[in-house]
């Protein structure tokens, strides 16, 4: 089974999906006439302007734009922002970060398209607003099979398997920093998650709206302290990124065997995996946003990519480069942990443990919400209680089990769920284009 999963993952991620996701980003950028430039300023206004519109606060009928974005970012910003960026650097050199930025720019157009389609095809099930790829695949593409396939794979990938790997990250980080038993950490984590989930959409939205900005701000502030401490290395690090993107040997030397192909492949992969553009996850949050026009939430979705990849992934990369943790033969979370230790001393390990806890916790909440939308699609609200209990069980199990194989399963089901979403995005691109045209020609002139 382990070998089978490895073969499937190699085919999906190394030989198909990266190119397909990159291609859909290019296609949507052209088809939607570069919304990354024309719609990003209104996107920031729409995002942060909704913070003060308490008359449109979250309930069963939806969330504000900012709450929807916070829920999406809760899922986007996770342990991968710490470990994945370091892996990209170790495998593709500093130049991988340049290509990560390229994938982020293209991913903004894809996220725009996913969000507006999710808005268009959002619906009410037993009085609760919901939506996502399963809904626009079912109604727009008119394929019940593809919609069901997507719904099943995302429930497994994010709701069940994903919860295990995230809770494992939490328990490992807390155990390493404070010596707390992993099972105890898992039980406490499941209790915290349960208290949030029982409040439904309103409590999930309020939790994301409160915790995600604090979490991101906490991490960015700590990163800025390190960058200030190593300020003389920042320009050198930036130079290595741009030089390494096109001439890795000049940036890091030929001994590492890093090529331009490695830089492009790992940089693009990190960007796409981080912001989840085209993967079909974040549209579940954007579908329930209360906006006057679907294009408004499409613009907000692009802001999420900026927060996740352009800001958080970039500061992680710079910290690893300015502290030269990337030269110590480390990779993944070990490299980033070492960078924070070099930057903040022994407190750096505690800082990372706290950061990992909140990154993983918010990801569990976001992924639960995405899975719940698909439970509603398959079974209606009557399936939610059983789904909720199973997620809590998987959180506890993941805290103490060896999850190396579970990570591979998560990758496989993540890859499988992307396929029907990409098919839908290709077929429904004219509708996404029509939505943005209607916004420009009609809505703005009211």
* 3-state secondary structure string across 361-392: HHHHHHHHHHHHHHHHHHHCHHHHHHHHHHHH
Residue 280 near residue 421, CB atoms below 8 Å: yes
Residue 132 near residue 287, CB atoms below 8 Å: yes
Give Cβ neighbours of residue 11 (< 8 Å, ≥ 6 apart). none
Please state, in angstroms and as integers, the Cα–Cα distance from residue 107 to each residue in 58, 112, 114, 271, 415, following that order.
27, 8, 10, 8, 17
Q: Give the CATH number of the domain where residue 222 resides.
A: 1.20.1740.10
Helix axes 384-400 and 163-178, enclosed angle (nearest 10)? 40
Distance CA 322, CA 36 (A): 30
Note whether residue 261 is domain-resident.
yes
CA 184 to chain centre: 27
DSSP-assigned letter for residue 417: H
Q: Helix/strand/coil (H, E, C) string of 249-279? A: HHHHCHHHCCCHHHHHHHHHHHHHHHHCCCC
Distance CA 255, CA 142 (A): 53
Note whether residue 180 is domain-resident.
yes
Give Cβ neighbours of residue 345 (< 8 Å, ≥ 6 apart). none
Please report, in angstroms and rounded to a whole number, the separation of the first and last CA atoms in the chain: 58
Give tens-digit pLDDT for 256-288: 566 777 788 788 877 877 888 889 999 999 999
pLDDT at residue 31, rounded to an integer: 95
Distance CA 54, CA 69 (A): 16
Count other C-beta atoms under 10 Å from residue 267's C-beta. 31
Q: DSSP secondary structure string, 156-192? A: IIIIIIIHHHHHHHHHHHHHHHH---HHHHHHHHHHH
Q: Spell out a b/e string for 142-157, using b for 16 or more CB atoms within 10 Å of the CB, else e.
A: ebeebbbbbbbbbbbb
Count other C-beta atoms under 10 Å from residue 261's C-beta. 10
Our count of domains for the chain comes to 1
Note whether residue 56 is domain-resident.
no
Note whether residue 22 is domain-resident.
yes
123: alpha, beta or left? (left if phi > 0; alpha if psi -120 to 50): beta
Distance CA 165, CA 363 (A): 11
Burial class (CB in 10 A: 0-12, 13-18, 19+), 283: buried
Give the CA-trace dihedral at 383, 384, 388, 394, to 10 degrees: 40
Note whether residue 17 is domain-resident.
yes
Q: Kindly give the parts of the chain with pLDDT less than 50.
A: 255
Distance CA 383, CA 376 (A): 7
pLDDT at residue 255, rounded to an integer: 44
pLDDT at residue 268, rounded to an integer: 84
Helix axes 40-49 and 294-305, enclosed angle (nearest 10)? 100
Q: Spell out a b/e string for 343-352, using b for 16 or more CB atoms within 10 Å of the CB, else e.
A: bbeeebbbbb
Using the structure block, give the residue that is written with the tokens 């990758």: 411
Phi, psi of 236 (to 5 degrees): -65, -40
Q: For residue 35, give the nearest of 326, 335, 297, 370 by alpha carbon.
A: 297
H or E stretch covering 281: none
Residue 108 near residue 36, CB atoms below 8 Å: yes
Burial class (CB in 10 A: 0-12, 13-18, 19+), 36: buried
pLDDT at residue 29, rounded to an integer: 96
Q: In 3-state terms, what secondary structure has residue 410? A: helix
Distance CA 86, CA 84 (A): 5
Note whether residue 374 is domain-resident.
yes
- Expressed as residue numbers, the domain containing 399 is 1-51+61-443
């Amino acid at each position: 089974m382990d070998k089978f999963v490895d073969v499937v993952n190699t085919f999906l991620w190394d030989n198909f999906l990266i190119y397909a996701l990159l291609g859909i980003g290019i296609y949507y950028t052209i088809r939607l006439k570069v919304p990354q430039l024309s719609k990003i300023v209104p996107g920031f206004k729409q995002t942060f302007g909704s913070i003060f519109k308490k008359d449109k606060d979250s309930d069963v009928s939806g969330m504000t734009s900012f709450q929807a974005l916070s829920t999406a970012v809760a899922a986007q910003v996770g342990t991968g922002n710490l470990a994945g960026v370091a892996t990209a650097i170790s495998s593709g050199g500093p130049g991988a970060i340049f290509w990560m930025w390229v994938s982020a720019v293209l991913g903004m157009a894809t996220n725009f398209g996913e969000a507006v389609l999710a808005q268009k095809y959002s619906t009410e099930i037993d009085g609760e607003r919901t939506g996502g790829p399963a809904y626009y695949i079912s109604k727009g593409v008119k394929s019940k099979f593809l919609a069901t396939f997507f719904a099943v794979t995302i429930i497994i990938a994010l709701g069940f398997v994903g919860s295990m790997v995230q809770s494992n990250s939490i328990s490992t980080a807390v155990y390493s920093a404070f010596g707390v038993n992993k099972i105890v950490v898992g039980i406490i984590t499941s209790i915290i998650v349960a208290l949030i989930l029982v409040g439904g959409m309103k409590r999930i939205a309020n939790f994301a709206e409160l915790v995600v900005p604090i979490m991101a701000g906490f991490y960015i502030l700590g990163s800025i302290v390190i960058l200030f401490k190593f300020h003389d290395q920042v320009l050198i690090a930036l130079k290595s990124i741009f030089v390494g993107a096109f001439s890795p040997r000049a940036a890091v030397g030929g001994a590492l065997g890093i090529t331009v192909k490695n830089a492009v492949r790992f940089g693009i992969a990190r960007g796409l995996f981080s912001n989840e553009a085209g993967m079909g996850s974040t549209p579940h949050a954007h579908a329930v946003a209360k906006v006057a026009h679907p294009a408004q939430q499409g613009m907000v979705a692009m802001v999420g990519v900026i927060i996740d990849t352009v800001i958080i992934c970039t500061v992680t990369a710079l910290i690893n480069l300015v502290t030269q943790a990337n030269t110590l033969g480390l990779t993944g979370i070990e490299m980033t942990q070492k960078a924070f230790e070099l930057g903040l001393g022994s407190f750096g390990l505690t800082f990372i443990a706290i950061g990992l806890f909140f990154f993983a916790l918010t990801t569990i909440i976001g992924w639960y919400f995405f899975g719940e939308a698909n439970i509603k699609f398959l079974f209606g609200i009557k399936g939610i209680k059983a789904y909720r209990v199973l997620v809590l069980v998987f959180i506890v199990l993941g805290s103490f089990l060896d999850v190396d194989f579970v990570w591979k399963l998560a990758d496989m089901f993540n890859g499988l769920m992307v396929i029907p979403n990409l098919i839908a995005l290709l077929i429904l691109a004219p509708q996404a284009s029509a939505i943005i045209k209607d916004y420009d020609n009609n809505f703005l002139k009211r």
